[in-house]
Amino acid sequence: MKKIVVASDSFKGSLSSKDVAESAARGVHQIYPDCEVIEINVADGGEGTVDAVVEALGGSLITINVKGPLDAPVAATYGIAGTTAIIEMASASGLPLIAVEERDPAKTSTYGTGEMILDAIKRGCRNFLVGIGGSATNDAGTGMLQALGFKFINSQGNEIERCCGGILGDIAKIDDSQVPTEVRESIFTIACDVDTPFCGPIGAAYVFAPQKGASPQMVEALDNGMASFAKVIEQKYSLNIVPVAGAGAAGGMGGAFRAFLNGTLRSGVEMVLDAIDFNSRIADADLVITGEGKVDFQTPKGKTAAGVLARTKKAGIPTVAIGGCVEPCDELNAMGFAGIYPILEEKVPLEVAMQRDFASTNVTKTVARILGELRVKS
């Protein structure tokens, strides 16, 4: 083999995408010392997206202080490559930023995410790739929108000072007259891998708010607020956001981008693969190696490995998957991988399996074993 591409997601809690690629490359060179190995950082729009795209595009990381979900300052990092900004909303508005006992989606806000966007706009960015997974919020993106210049008015004609999930029902009017031209001209592509509607029994509040700290009573109140706000959005923009697939993602953040910023909701892995020009980078490859920490029935549902396989199939390149854990099932078998391999040949305690050096060594061994078997078959 003359060219092998390694494009694996991270093995969460153990190896980054870059770590997996470097470990796999060592395995390749044990069997094919002269083989060209193309190491590509990839992600599915969630954790690791900023690093993957910034590395591929030769960009840089920016860290700024913004308001966290409950307004306490947090250091949020995003990426810039040319005029493109790569943002993970969890960096500013994510659930891990709040102690478990303080989680309350009626009070949390996405304002900090808006501050990141505004900072990038001031630095000249006009194209935004935004991952919205892992949010602590259910404010329908109103906090973010406030940071970008949108104003929300109550029935008494007063501007609401701080938007959060608990005040959505108070919004009677939207004022976008002060939104900067630079915001309006920007293009937003949103990584969204759920089809959750804006509100209703399978909407944002009912599906996601409980894991963010909401009680059953709070879920109902949040959903009522979302429904009320949806009517205000429709009055302002002639858009019924409620049934839009993905509008309920990240507590309604998907809907906010769609309705207010004309954002496009896309598969996370597709967004990343397009951004890093994946199709060109795999050209003429003899084999592609992909994977993730756990390869199971969820892998076909928009995970990184599935996105990579879809591209390599079209290019006619055989592809194998590796995983820290592999749980075979019909859905996996039907995908069309040339092989699916666990990196562990025998059971070990989880804390041992998750150790970085141990996992790295096993990736190297597994890749060498796979290539040795393929060489014998050829």
pLDDT tens, 186-245?
999 999 888 899 999 999 999 999 999 999 999 999 999 999 999 999 999 999 999 999
Which tokens hold the place of 231?
Answer: 């009517």
Three-state secondary-structure class, residue 339: strand
Residue 378 has pLDDT above 70, yes or no: no
- Cα separation of the two ends of the chain: 11
Strand 339-342 relative to strand 319-326: parallel, antiparallel, unpaired?
A: parallel
The kind and range of the H/E element at 87 are strand 84-88
pLDDT in tens, 274-291: 999 999 999 999 999 999
Q: What percent of the chain has pLDDT over 90?
A: 87
- Other beta carbons less than 10 A from residue 172's beta carbon: 18
For the chain, the 3-state helix, strand and coil shares in percent, each to the nearest 5, are: 45, 20, 40
CB 323 within 8 A of CB 293: yes
Residue 160 has pLDDT above 70, yes or no: yes
Q: What is the mean pLDDT of residues 287-297?
A: 94
Residues 6+ apart with CB under 8 A from 76: 63, 64, 65, 66, 91, 92, 112, 115, 116
- Provide mean pLDDT across the span 369-374: 93
Q: Where residue 40 falls among pLDDT bands split at 50, 70, 90?
A: very high
| Residue 64 clears pLDDT 70, i.e. is over it | yes
pLDDT for res 63: 98
- Cα–Cα distance measured from residue 101 to residue 39, given in angstroms and rounded to the nearest whole number: 41
The whole-number average pLDDT for the span 113-119 is 98
Check: CB of residue 141 under 8 Å from CB of residue 253. yes
State both tokens at 248: 């309920």
Given a cut of 90, whether residue 174 has pLDDT beyond it is: yes
Hey, what are 20's tokens?
Answer: 């997996």
- CB-CB contact of 270 with 307 (8 Å): yes
Read off the pLDDT of residues 339-351 as tens digits, 9 standing for 90 and up.
999 999 888 888 8
Query: Do residues 46 and 40 lie in contact, with contact meaning Cβ atoms separated by under 8 Å?
Result: no
